[in-house]
Structure 1
Amino acid sequence: MSQPRICIVEPDDIEQELLQGMLEDDYQVCVFSSGEEMLTTLTPDQPTLIILETLLPGPTGYEICRIVEKDFSHCFTYTIFLSAKTSVEERIRGMEAGADDYINKPYDVVEVARKVHAAMEMLCSTSGLKKQLDYASHTAFQAMSAQSEMGIIMRGVQDANKATHFGELSQAMFSCLAELSLKSTLYYEVQSKPRFEASAGRNSTSMEQEIITVVRRSERIWTRGSRCIFTFGDTSLLVLNMPDDEEKTGRLRDNLCFLMETFEVKVDALNQQQALTLARDWQHSVKEVTQLLNIASQDLQHSIDGSTKTIRNMMSDLEMLLPSLGLEEDQEERIHHIIDTAFDDYNHSLQKTEQTGLIFNKVMSKLKNMQ
């Protein structure tokens, strides 16, 4: 697989030159004036970072992003929107179209460099995993096609590579092991949380889980009688009924090691994919919370303004009314004292409310910086 490249889709010539000048010393950069032109260059063999202006001749950046998500899902891509529109609605619209990040115009050189570097690291990591998976599948096809055992392992590798979530992956593994007549328990980690799953018709016992946990700390391949544990990275396989035939057992060990290498790489890839999805969901939630806090802050300010106006009007009315009531001087003084005390209490309460408003603003500012 080729090294990742950057596609800049920007109709403005000056903006093209600016972005290209920033990036071409460190990366392979291609520049396009329209999204349709860029789409013709996407291939599964070359991961691509797409820096995409939202306002384009022909299909908009949002439409191009949706096409990439739908029709080029077999390609490794990462999309960053480029736009002078900075509203939350525009960002949400970009996220719904399938974009991975957003850069505001006029852009900061440091921000552009940081986001491009992070995106290219992710693409390199993903393509590296793809290389390993492709290599594993190719080696399996070459080494196992001549024998039935090897053919079973080959299908298991292919099915594992096709899995889009952990349930499909474990099912592919157990289907392969069942064809080899092996009873087994799988261990793997999902976002650093351990999982134990047993083959069909049985449950993983506490003893099995304890043995896997202890053995995986010390030995890559552990054998005791008919039981064998294979450990690769954050994954392990316990086989309970390895055959008595020494030659067959030797072949199975080699083949199961290969199968577990593929399983480990795929678990890593799914964990990275899930982490990216969780990050996108978290970013969406942060945006929603920011919007709600903004509304609450505005409502709070309206309430403060309304209450202040009401209190001032009431005090003005009382000041005008008192002389006409014919009260004694000491009575007026007592009423003035009551009014002054109430006004002081109100001002104290208002200060607390304003402090709450400041806290709202600080929280919203921090949330915006986290997006």
Structure 2
Amino acid sequence: MELRRILAVDDEPFNLEIIEEILEDLDFELATAASGPECLEMVEAYNPQVILLDVSMPQMNGYEVCKALKANPNTSHIVVMFVSARGSVEERMEGYSVGAEDYIVKPFGHTELKSKLMNLNKLLEEKASLTQQIEDATNTAFSAMATSSEMGQIVNFIEQIGEIEDVNELAHALLRCLENFGLSSNLEFRIDDERRHYASSGVCSPIVIELFDILKGKGRLHEFTNRILVNYPVISLLILNMPTDDPDKRGRIRDHICFIVSVTEQQLRAILTRCRLLDQQRNLNDAIAMIHTKFHGMVTLLDKNRKENESVFKELQEEFENRIPTMGLDEDQEVFIFSKLDTSIQRSIAREGAIQDVKGAFKEIESDLALLAQHVNN
């Protein structure tokens, strides 16, 4: 469903003129209302897809108007974006608690408002394309709840995620588990410097992503109206439709959610640890292969040098044996020269023994590295 109709509500005509000016070059139908009661009077007839709703207005403030819109089945589907001169955490949480999808702080520029509307347009399109899927998922969830106990669902989930090795697959398994409890949810995974967002019905709205960022370090549980946000170090989960008419069931579901998120967090950490170990294993195997290649290169070079030395000494020995008798030397001189030659040859043989020692040392190092790689692989 492409965004076409917008209703802007503000008691200051100047603010409405600014919005009209910003949106005049976009293909939107824009209607305006100067008060909360006027908005409620005209909204069903005009049927806007998005309402830009000022917070501070006389008679009815924006929060009261939003509550009335969300309480009316004919208008509860309309996307509300609050427009306010104040943007504290408390006000944003108040806006979200009454059902708003986004929040923009005055004064805002052309680009910021257009960007926010484009994001809401994407949200509308996702909601429209997934309506049938949501209905099917809801029917499946209630059917599953009718045939399986809550603890059975939890046990099945724990058994299932033990076999999962992919982060995205784990996120979708968690959402499916919550759907089996009839819960609609938004989810954030924090992996190093990356944030991944998932939703049981399409995509997370901008205000949900802001809430995750603002509240991730501010306590384990945050409850407002029929919503609950659960924080763990690398996972945040927002439930959108906690039961409100049965306090016992609400408390039981809250405990289930905390346990399920805790288990999911441990599995997520296990997956990330396995990924890091696999990377380390690959790096170690690459290093071992490189060392093996270099060792064999060095041994080959040593063998080559040894053979060249043997060849040189053999040629030298043959030349001495042929020429010394013709040089007119006395016996002592010949013995002295042959003794020196023999000593040099013996030293060469000793060097060959050293080469064998080096080869043995290299083999020991390679054996140790192979044992280390086997230990890592296991």
Scaled by the length of structure 1, the TM-score of the pair is 0.40
Scaled by the length of structure 2, the TM-score of the pair is 0.39
Whose Rg is larger? Answer: 2
